[in-house]
Amino acid sequence: MADLKAKIDELIAKAQTAAEAFKKFNQEQVDRIIAAMDKAGTANERKLAEMAVEETGMGNVEDKVVKNHIGCNLVYEYLKDKPSVGIISEKDGIMEIAEPFGVVAAVTPTTNPTSTTEFKSLIALKGRNVIIFAFHPRAQRCSAAAATIMRDAAVAAGAPANCIQWVEEPSIEATNLLLTHPGINLVIATGGGAMVKAAYSSGHPALGVGPGNVPVYVEKTANLSMAVNNIIASKTFDYGTVCSADQNVIFDDRKIADQALKMFADRGTYICNEEEKTKLAKIMFDPEKGVPSMKIVGQSPQVIARLAGFEVPDEVKMLMVPLNVDTIGPEDMLTHEKLSPVIGFMVAKDKDQAIDACVRQLKFGGAGHTATCYSSDEKVLKEFSLAVPANRVILNAPSAHGSIGQLYNTLVPSMTLGCGAAGGNVTTDNINYRNLLNIKRAALRNKPEAQDE
């Protein structure tokens, strides 16, 4: 333990030296560094995708390429021209002055390892912060490769040496030593509940995430064909490893549900019967932790079906299981987050029961995260948005892609989605560079001096 502590102390000391140097950089220097990082990351997005799938055994290469592009180039395009150094705003007599937090500690997940590493490197350095990573042990090699690419590009463009570092030998002990080190100024954690809890227990300011048990309400006036296409695209993206992907579809009309199920089946969805649902329920969750089993996370529908004891054709894109609006919760774990191309469906008697089912589903392991609604009725979209305890409400767009931002809407692009008070987080934001700025405010007097003072 003494040797491990010495290694963490060394990382922190190097980071602090880099942070002091970085404070002196101007906006032009910062933006030149960020541009170089984007160029290098984008050039290596396929290589990193292949490494991530090979090492973790999760997801698929083509979708990991897209994730890497989002985490690097899409994020860069959003932040590249935005001010992050010195006076960044002057309005209503208030000058906003951006300063760096300093040394940022970052935890990354096994589901999105390389894209999250690139994303956090970009947003940290955009604010003149330096960053030290504790990667998920099952994604150490690919994550370190992503960090190396970003660091080398940054340093070549003039950034201080050691602006991006990482723990070389991952362990729970090393991560805890990093997160709780007095030299850390901010923690940003993306990953499982234990890691996020550790971040909030570190004694430092922390930005975290929460689980995303995303309900999708398909209201009777929805463009059904579009909704079905979007749900398939969202749920099957990287084999369901995006935390904001659809988990269960809630209909409010049996006739509409039957039409949709036929569309799902015609477009590559395997509709499971009750026996197959029971088999899936037995293998999909860790009974002790109440979370998806690592055996099924990010696996293809064919692999998951085989593990459960039945076969599906090669062309099947996802599995769909029947659920009941009255049994949302621990009594039916398939109403929980599944992190795989397995989705549930249920039919409510009307709009009110459907929205209530969405609310209960979010409270069962997804509070504060994301909810989606398809409807042609603006009043329904507003009612849904007001009712659900979700901080990203995606309307008439695929949930996974819509929540990430910039693809189907103008949400801030991010690989770290805050869940607010309901999810135990400090913010509801799609985390980006601005969350890593320490903004001070200079306020001009706006009342005239009294003549008789």
Q: Which helix (H) or strand (E) holds 134?
A: strand 130-134
Q: Is 419 a catalytic residue?
A: no
- How far is the C-alpha of 64 from the C-alpha of 187, rounded, in Å? 25
Are 199 and 179 spatial neighbours (Cβ–Cβ below 8 Å)? yes
Using CA atoms, how far residue 115 sits from 40, 147, 334, in Å, is: 13, 10, 28
Q: How many CB atoms lie within 10 A of CB 410?
A: 8
Contacts of 394 (CB under 8 A, 6+ apart): 370, 371, 372, 373, 402, 403, 408, 409
Please tell me which residue in 72, 142, 163, 243 is annotated as part of the active site: 243
Q: Which DSSP symbol is given to 156?
A: H
- How far is the C-alpha of 125 from the C-alpha of 17, rounded, in Å? 15
Are 159 and 75 spatial neighbours (Cβ–Cβ below 8 Å)? no
Are 55 and 170 spatial neighbours (Cβ–Cβ below 8 Å)? no
Q: Where are the alpha helices (DSSP H) in 201-313?
A: 224-236, 254-266, 274-283, 301-308
Are 280 and 343 spatial neighbours (Cβ–Cβ below 8 Å)? no
Are 84 and 97 spatial neighbours (Cβ–Cβ below 8 Å)? no
Using CA atoms, how far residue 150 sits from 14, 76, 159, 396, 416, in Å, is: 17, 13, 11, 35, 18
- How far is the C-alpha of 333 from the C-alpha of 284, rounded, in Å? 9
Catalytic residue set: 243
